[in-house]
Amino acid sequence: ELYDIFGKYGAVYQIRLGDRSRDTRGTAFVVYEDIYDAKAAVDHLSGFNVGGRYLIVLYYQPAKFQRRIDAEEKKKELEELRRQVKAKKAAIAASEQKGGTDV
């Protein structure tokens, strides 16, 4: 059915369905042979109702996707650094309570 819908706007090279993971569930990746065909599909199919669901048709933007991944990695690094600082502060406080002021 997807080939019928998207094929109206040009030659479809490939359609890959998203897997069942949370991030790609309910998505499909449509690759056209020509960029102008992809533009026509984006222009005409966004908001199109298929099987009771409205399509959201976007261009794939690898740079935007990579920025999101980078931001998530930086967030994890920051959380780890905060955990390390908190642990070090707790160790210093415990050392000071024992009477040792050597750091």
pLDDT in tens, 44-71: 888 888 878 888 887 776 776 677 778 8
In terms of pLDDT, which residue wins out, 24 or 85? Answer: 85
Judged against a pLDDT cut of 60, whether residue 42 lies above it is answered with yes
Q: Tell me which residue of 2, 27, 24, 25 sits closest to 13, measured CA to CA.
A: 2
The single-letter code of the amino acid at 57 is V
Is 59 within 8 Å of 42 (Cβ atoms)? yes
Judge whether residue 79 has pLDDT over 60.
yes
